[in-house]
A = this chain, B = another copy of it.
């Protein structure tokens, strides 16, 4: 498999490191060998159609930039370089989906399968991308866009196949879950805990997308489209953040056996994000930066999955799961 990586931030670097470290595992377990033939980001590109050397790749990861890069754009590399799979790992832009959207379309149009962690293109153009992939006969996977390392989409689409999914409830944002957990533990107000989270690097300098619930709403939009088959738009998700949650409200909830979580809900009738009471012993009531999703289904009733929702190494778990899946799909086609 020849791979192009577009985007060389935390996620891209984590992926390169995992791919290099685990190349023998993939060969032995799945019969899959991979070469990275190009890495490109906003600063330039490095290309070797025979596969970049592991030494060079690891040096690039350590130094955090593309050593010896030439001035080329992502779209140019995707168009010009021969490859099986493009990893689209640029930052999320939920307004335009760019530059990810153009990267993905260009890849598909040149016959390349796409694996992405980028919510932007999925929120802006889910149907269009699904259809384009189908039309061009390429694979399209986006497990890492929801839940980080938690295989939410794969579980629904490739494992719970006997079930009809009736509703999805998710704690899908580690930053807000950390803040709510700390507010409960310390009986502390939102502002103080947010500052603490920023100092620890858990919350961003501008945390508005997280705390206003917009990041969760993006993930609910993606789940509604991919798992429930609803043509849902981000603007249709009724969204409320956590800045209005008080220590008093959390205390009252706990006295009644509940905890307050920022929960995203997707069903055929509801698309919603907001603070909700979750029974304290329910598996969805995960602490700290963990993510969790409960599927309400017709046969198994409820299945909950949880794990780490962020982190470069954790995200590479989903990206590489998708890669093996794409490899198997391509191999079966012959």
Partner-B contacts on A (CB < 8 A): 18, 22, 25, 29-30, 149-151, 154-155, 158-164, 281, 283, 286-287, 290, 292, 297-308, 313-314, 316-321, 323-325, 332
Once the chains bind, are B303 and A320 in contact (CB under 8 Å)? no
Partner of A162, one of B162, B297, B318: B318
Q: Considering only CB atoms, which chain B residue lies closest to A281 in the complex?
A: B287
Once the chains bind, are B308 and A149 in contact (CB under 8 Å)? no
Q: Considering only CB atoms, which chain B residue lies closest to A312 in the complex?
A: B299
Q: Kindly list chain B residues whose C-beta atoms are within 8 Å of the C-beta of A332.
A: 332
Q: Kindly list chain B residues whose C-beta atoms are within 8 Å of the C-beta of A321.
A: 159-163
Once the chains bind, are A304 and B307 in contact (CB under 8 Å)? yes
Q: Kindly list chain B residues whose C-beta atoms are within 8 Å of the C-beta of A22.
A: 162, 164, 298
| Total copies of the chain | 2
Once the chains bind, are A300 and B314 in contact (CB under 8 Å)? yes
Once the chains bind, are A303 and B305 in contact (CB under 8 Å)? yes
Q: Kindly list chain B residues whose C-beta atoms are within 8 Å of the C-beta of A161.
A: 29-30, 320-321, 324-325
In the complex, what's the smallest C-beta–C-beta distance from A130 to chain B, in angstroms?
A: 16
CA distance A162 to B315 in the complex (A): 11
Q: Kindly list chain B residues whose C-beta atoms are within 8 Å of the C-beta of A306.
A: 283, 303-305
In the complex, what's the smallest C-beta–C-beta distance from A262 to chain B, in angstroms?
A: 17
CA distance A50 to B25 in the complex (A): 47
Q: Kindly list chain B residues whose C-beta atoms are within 8 Å of the C-beta of A292.
A: 283
In the complex, what's the smallest C-beta–C-beta distance from A305 to chain B, in angstroms?
A: 5
CA distance A182 to B225 in the complex (A): 41
Partner of A160, one of B297, B304, B317: B317
Once the chains bind, are B299 and A162 in contact (CB under 8 Å)? no
Partner of A283, one of B286, B300, B303: B286
